[in-house]
Amino acid sequence: MTVLELVAVSKVYGEGPAQVRALQDISLTVDEGELVAVMGPSGSGKSTLLTIAGTLEEPTTGDVLVAGVSVVGMSRNDRARLRRRSIGYVFQDFNLLAGLTAAENVSLPLELDGVPAKSARAAGLHALEALGLRDRAASFPDELSGGERQRVAIARAVVGDRGLLLADEPSGALDSVNGEAVMRLIRAACQRGVAGVVVTHDAQLASWADRVVFLRDGRVVDQTAPAAGPESLLSPNP
């Protein structure tokens, strides 16, 4: 099932000579269980694509469908509810709230959505446990390592069975071993059925995706072919 669909999406900022065409005619579908990486240099429109996919911004033209429902023209409240229930974000700098524990950070989106505190907390602990952080639930962000903070951010993004995970340079300033751990977790979430989109300029992160889409000057210029089996690299004479 298609979870995210961008249909001929364009985004223009400003007018006249100062006009910037950030995205031009982008069409992209991401299915349940699929992880797509969007690669491109700075200024190629990666982050704009992610904010539009996450319904934080509206496209100038074109349509965005989340789980088959068109987002364009939806009221602000309906869009906010859709975001809370269906879409999880992982940011480069984690964006955890410093005054809340790991467990409170993770359960916050559910509580904001009206889920009773007790159930929200149980779901939060469950999400932390899935990421190996059960024993850090009562820790505050400044008591966690960079890698642990990012795992909390991923737990917060997938808590409550949200079907769409959007990540912007999710390994941030982490070293390559921790960065790999982050991608393994995002991939594991996708294997459980979440549709994931990771935007990055880092080929090693992108290579964890099922499909890599290349963005240049606001346009999709290319994408990788469907995955070959790993055995193709293990022929006797590579």
Partner 1 sequence: MRPRGQPYDTEYVTGFGCALSVRHALLALLSEGPKYGLQLRQEFEARTGEVWPLNVGQVYTTLQRLERDRMVESDDAGDGPQKGFRITRDGEAELAAWLRTPPDLSSPPRDELVIKILIAVQVPDVDVHEVIQAHRRYLVQLMQEWTRLKDYTADRDLGFGLAVDAELFRLDAVVRWLDAADGRIKRASLERLDTERLPLPKVARKAVVRP
Binding residues vs partner 1 (CB under 8 A): 39, 41, 184, 187, 201-204, 206-209, 212, 214, 216, 221-225, 227-228, 230, 232-234, 236-238
Distance (Å, whole) CA 17 – CA 147: 44
From the CB of 129, what's the least distance to partner 1, in Å?
20
Taking the complex as a whole, the smallest distance from the CB of residue 215 to partner 1 amounts, in Å, to: 11
* Backbone φ and ψ of 226, nearest 5°: -55, 150
Q: Which is nearer to partner 1, 184 or 192 (CB)?
A: 184
Token pair belonging to 49: 């694509």
3-state secondary structure of 24: strand
For 57, counting Cβ atoms within 10 Å of its Cβ (0-12 exposed, 13-18 middle, 19+ buried), the class is middle
HSE-CB of 33 using CA atoms within 13 angstroms = 4
By beta-carbon proximity to partner 1, the closer residue of 98 and 225 is 225
Query: What does the alpha-carbon distance between residue 198 and residue 169 come to, in Å, rounded to a whole number?
Result: 7
Nearer to partner 1, 145 or 204 (CB): 204
Of 90, 91, 98, residue with least CA distance to 127: 90
Compute the least distance from the CB of residue 141 to partner 1, in Å. 29
**Residue 20 or residue 221: which is nearer to partner 1 going by CB?**
221
- Taking the CA of residue 201 as centre, how many other CA atoms within 13 Å lie in the half-sphere pointing to its CB? 10
Q: Of the two residues 161 and 175, which places its CB atom closer to partner 1 in the complex? A: 175
Name the minimum Å distance from CB 219 to partner 1: 12
Please identify which residue in the block is written with the tokens 């890599």. Answer: 212
Give least dist CB 139 to partner 1, A.
27
